[in-house]
Structure 1
Amino acid sequence: MKRSLTLALLMSIAALPALANDTTAQLATGGLEFTRTDAISMEEEKLYISPKEVRVDYIFRNTGDLPVETYVAFPMPDIDGGPESNVDAGDLASDNFLGFSVVQDGVAIKPDLQQRVYSSDIDMTDVVAAAKIPMNPLSEQARKALAKLPQETLDDWQNRGLIFADVYDDGSGEKKEYVPLWTLKSAYWWKTSFAPGKDIQVAHTYRPSVGGTVATTFLDENNEAKGARFDEYKKKYCIDDAFVRLAKKSNEAMNANQPSLVENWISYVLTTGGNWAGPIKKFTLVIDKGEHDNFVSFCGEGVKKTGDTTFEMTATDYYPEKDLDILLLVPTGAP
């Protein structure tokens, strides 16, 4: 007799402070999460994060006496529509907007994709699909397709909360454009099985969603390391005195119309690691800052510099207690 379990790879949208039009938010990505089980352990996780790629390699083991047949899921981050949605969501023209791919035991898997459209927590997938409107609310294709709908349909969709009418004047007269308001929920999934005592290797890659600003923003109006935003950054990214000095110098350079630094952020959900049997027995984290002249700060214990752009942390019997947030200071030209 087989037991069934469900695995889920969860990702959530990171909440970030609003900084007017000079801010781009990012989508937090994360690792495989099991529903609570005593049958599957994570023997090893190797996590690599750079501004261009996330790679995760896992080794799982069925520690029980019976086979476990599962569905593995990779939910993509929710994509919210709206006139001021300012998020790096990858390739908006593609269903696989973060370029997710997965390999299990050396064999590439082509997972199924489920996409659903929601408005105020009501499933509107059938309504949008029947009208043949692309489901990504941030895509240009969706807006163009909305413009071709009959006015009667547009009025109905406004009443349902699916769209709104954006009225503006671009200098040539008043214009009206219908903008999606719905939320897209996407998930890749595939079926697999775990034999008793057998290791299963799962590897996946995708492009991170990198947010950022046009300046350094964690010092106060007097360019001092004070205030609520600085306290937040210190807790979230573990910034130190060296990072404060970099920000001060950068802000002074920017005010003098000289080359300065801008912030980039990457978030990764680590705390899903508490749902499998026991801790992660062997954990390796590699952060790659991307370019030699970038600066990086993140929270970790025993972090060592291992290359020109790479930093590594290792742990045994690891329980992730908080999610991972990475701050990059990236050089830019003069304004």
Structure 2
Amino acid sequence: MKITRAIVLAVALSGSAASHANDTAIGDDNGTITFKQLPHVSMDSEALFISEALVTVDYVFTNNGPADVVTPVAFPMPPAYFGDSDHTEIENFKVWADGRLVNAEQKWVIRRGEVDVSDQVRRWGWTTDDIFRLMQGGGTPKGKKPLPSHWFDTNGEPLITISKYHVWQQTFPAGKPLTIRHSYVPSVTTGVPQSWSTLFEAYGKETCPDKALIAGIEKRDGEGGWEYNFLSYILTTANHWQGPIKDFKLTIRKRQPTDVFSLCFDGAFKKTDPLTFEFRQSDFRPTRDLKILFLRRRKPE
């Protein structure tokens, strides 16, 4: 016996354009796209590795129910970015289930605030390319119905986002563990070197630099400023599985021993080598998403 859940795309994402996310099951809720709880599937472990160049996540799930569950699982990309700051895209996304490479389907999702308007926009005859042109300063395509005026701010800028999702159909076998792994080159926000005070003014509220970190940076300050990468990771979607994460491990790795990083996090990291910091906890329930600011001292030319 197999329980098959309806397949539809996508879920609310908020925050920085440089966000990433945990895998989560998705489904159709009377036309509103929402995360779907899987009440019988637990996340037995999650090992999350984050660096500026690579993100990997290894999960073990167990379906504790009496029957197999077949459901679409989605990895949501950050909303496409159309601003002025330097911003990289997620690259080389791969996913494996029980060691086998999965062929995930790519779909685009259009959202206005917390509402998925993808089907509505497409019923009006708009294509994904039309939305991209609109977001880049274009107007209503010839022959297409204009989008509602309240979908734009007072400056005429669209109040919508468009995001890519990797979606695949996944079987969670009854009573058996399932391993899922994915990896990718993360999306980061960066720019020309800045003073540390300017960077903390921009990112400090999101990344919680403490007094000891600031004091250490002040001692090393000088000409040239600080190179930086800002990276976000959506962690709270892990709460959509049965119970807490039974065994959670977070590893953050710097590029160089002299680099520093800052994030808001309720837990202490253990330094395991000059580049690597680890946090581990049983029965972990994430209460906030991760926003990490990596800094390195730029050498004067």
Pick the TM interval, shorter chain: 0.7 to 0.9
Confirm or deny: 8 A CA contact 1:77 1:186 kept in the other structure: yes
Q: Which amino acid aligns with 1:188?
A: H
In 1, Cα distance between equivalents of 2:12 and 2:112? 20
What is aligned with 2:227?
262
Unaligned runs of 5+ in 1: 16-25, 91-96, 162-178
In 1, Cα distance between equivalents of 2:160 and 2:47? 36
Confirm or deny: 8 A CA contact 2:62 2:178 kept in the other structure: yes
Q: TM-score, normalised by structure 1?
A: 0.69
Q: CA deviation at 1:67?
A: 1.4
Alignment of 1:164-179 (within 5 A): none
* RMSD, aligned α-carbons: 3.8
What is aligned with 2:18?
27
Give the structure with higher Rg (CA).
1
Q: 1:270 to 1:182 in 2, by over 3 A?
A: closer
Q: 1:111 to 1:250 in 2, by over 3 A?
A: same
What is aligned with 2:31?
none
Q: Which amino acid aligns with 1:29?
A: H
Confirm or deny: 8 A CA contact 2:232 2:292 kept in the other structure: yes
What is aligned with 2:126?
127
SS at match of 2:215: helix
Equivalent pairs counted in the alignment come to 276
In 2, Cα distance between equivalents of 1:313 and 1:118? 34
Alignment of 1:1-335 (within 5 A): 1-5=1-5, 12-15=13-16, 26-34=17-25, 35-81=36-82, 84-86=83-85, 88-90=87-89, 97-116=90-109, 121=117, 123-124=121-122, 126-128=125-127, 133=129, 160=147, 183-213=161-191, 214-218=193-197, 229=201, 233=204, 236-249=206-219, 253=222, 258-298=223-263, 299-334=265-300
Q: TM-score, normalised by structure 2?
A: 0.76
In 2, Cα distance between equivalents of 1:307 and 1:209? 25
Q: CA deviation at 1:238?
A: 3.6
Q: CA deviation at 1:48?
A: 0.1
Q: 1:304 to 1:80 in 2, by over 3 A?
A: closer
Instruction: Give CA-to-partner distance per residue, 1:182-224, whole Å, 9 cap, x none.
Output: 743321111121221111100001121222353245479xxxx
Percent identity of equivalent pairs: 27
In 2, Cα distance between equivalents of 1:136 and 1:89? 17
